[in-house]
Structure 1
């Protein structure tokens, strides 16, 4: 134990001061996306809520056109996650604004040419959601909300992997 105490100062003598202890105004502008920004995150939450609803409708279509029960079960589990994600984003938005987001006027999706092209579209849709949710994660205030977004974000990565499996299986 005594040797550890002797090494401890040496281990940290060349470390950089953590960003959280620096004034935000001294941060380079390229770091702006990593700062909490309530006004910027609200439209992203609205976009996420609409995106989750559109995915749910699209996945209902894929379920109806799935070639096997295994495919249906996988897509049903993903669709159910999307429903839960939408509800979580709605809760976050309400907690931050005191306003409920109602149903959207544009609840539609473009039907794919076939099942496999629908699966391909789903893969890239899930990956696009990961990028959006990463922005939300960086900007949303509060640990609880960050944890919720992290759960959703990791589910989207899992969904892309499942759709990759379905694509490879049906190719």
Structure 2
């Protein structure tokens, strides 16, 4: 095979790979916008159960972001295919047992969405659409932090008991500063692992989940150990998957 033929074959393989990636992105976009009715019912439930107006406003802002994301996904799909997203049935809405259970479901839903949207972004044909996906992914990460905050807020109205018993901390600190001081080990460990090149999606999952556990009364070290145990045993398939993806990328 002469060099010109090799170049043509290489270009054809690259083109085929790009087309496959685009088709996967389009399929995932269809999944992303499926079940809008069920999503609306879920947000309506969370807003109706939220105990304060501030919490209702936070959830409503997330809901509005998701509506905007759906419009953007539909726009991208139509731009790339010339067609509207075909209707698909999403998962049937199942009312959570409690408001807190709903927050946990929402939190893990945001983390799963980040994984899906990263794949969509990789298959899009130009920076214009990839930038749109980058902004959507950034919103999803912000949403997960907000759900983590709401969960913590509804798990305890004060600092963790183990923290309250630690008399080494200044008693003049505000409650917010007490929380920041208490989670400092989580922040330092996350920064350390970032420098080691660990997959950022995996880090977000690990440390947001650890923050949820701290809100339930775990110490930071106990929270980290519990999350690592879930990852090791495979109890959390999302954690296991994101770590494997990160290792493959290095």
Name the residue aligned to 1:100.
Answer: 84
CA contact (8 A) 1:53 1:82 kept: no
CA RMSD, Structure 1 to Structure 2 (Å): 2.3
SS in structure 2 opposite 1:166? helix
Number of residue pairs the alignment of both structures matches:
143
Query: Are positions 1:81 and 2:87 aligned together?
Result: no
**Which ranges in structure 1 are unaligned for 5 or more consecutive residues?**
1-22
For the pair 1:69 / 2:68, whether they are aligned, the reply is no
Please report how far the alpha carbon of residue 54 of structure 1 lies from its aligned counterpart in structure 2 after TM superposition: 3.9
Equivalent position of 2:143 in the other structure:
159
CA distance in structure 2 between the partners assigned to 1:149 and 1:121 by the alignment: 23
Indicate the SS of the match to 1:63. helix
Q: Normalising by structure 1, what TM-score?
A: 0.75
CA distance in 1, matches of 2:64, 2:106: 15
Match of 1:137 in 2: 121
User: How far 1:103 moved relative to its partner?
Assistant: 4.5
Q: In the aligned structure 2, how far is the partner of 1:142 from the partner of 1:26?
A: 19
Alpha-carbon displacement from aligned partner over 1:42-83 (angstroms, at most 9, x marks no partner): 111101112666434311211111111011000000000000
| Normalised TM-score (structure 2) | 0.53
Other-structure match for 1:170: 154
- The answer as to whether partners of 2:46 and 2:99 remain within 8 angstroms in 1 is yes
Q: Which ranges in structure 2 are unaligned for 5 or more consecutive residues? A: 1-9, 156-250
Decide whether the 8 Å contact of 2:77 with 2:83 is kept in 1: yes
| Residue deviations 1:71-108 (CA, integer Å, cap 9, x gap) | 10000000000000000000000001011125444473
Q: Which has the higher contact order (CA 8 A, sep 6+)?
A: 1
